[in-house]
Amino acid sequence: MKTIIYTTNTGSAERYARLLSQETGLPACSLAEAKKKVPSGAEIIYLGWIMAGSVKGYADAAKRYQVRAVCAVGMGQTGTQTDEVRKKNRIPASIPLFTLQGNFDIKKLHGIYRPMMELMVRTAGKGLSKKDDRTPEEDDMLDMMLHGGQRVRVENLRSALGWYRAQE
């Protein structure tokens, strides 16, 4: 692997990329920076944020680089939703996929994503708050929607780091 490349909206994917960089010694840069610095065809680990199941920037990165692993950062708990994310983004089974729970602060969202998430919080949050038999994961999601949350932690990278170290 040559580089960790990320796309971020509120900073969680960048924070994970920096943590992964510290743990592996690989340089990390945004996809926009990488297009200027990292040669096409280079082996990379890609980190992107999840919006409606889509890993932002992944398709672009996959066209340009040899993606060896994907870390998808979203509101769901670490290690969940991998089947849905893999299918929606057409990530081949041969590429490891790690889902990571990011931070959530609606005020940090940019562009159209802020009103979209405000609507999602109102509708999905209302439905979750009325649900009597919420799972612990649903309780966590509701808490993030209502109060925001800081969930970026190096421990969430445990599986990705285990995979990386096995490649060395």
Determine the average pLDDT of the residues in 10-19: 96
Task: Please give the pLDDT value at position 85.
Answer: 97
Determine the average pLDDT of the residues in 131-144: 82
Q: What 8-state DSSP symbol labels residue 111?
A: T
Burial (0-12, 13-18, 19+ Cβ within 10 Å), 99 = buried
Task: Please give the pLDDT value at position 52.
Answer: 87
Task: Please give the pLDDT value at position 142.
Answer: 76
Task: Please give the pLDDT value at position 111.
Answer: 86
Task: Please give the pLDDT value at position 1.
Answer: 65
User: How far is the C-alpha of 100 from the C-alpha of 81, rounded, in Å?
Assistant: 10
Task: Please give the pLDDT value at position 32.
Answer: 97
pTM: predicted TM-score of the whole model, two decimal places: 0.86
Note the pLDDT tens digit of each residue in 89-102: 999 999 999 999 99
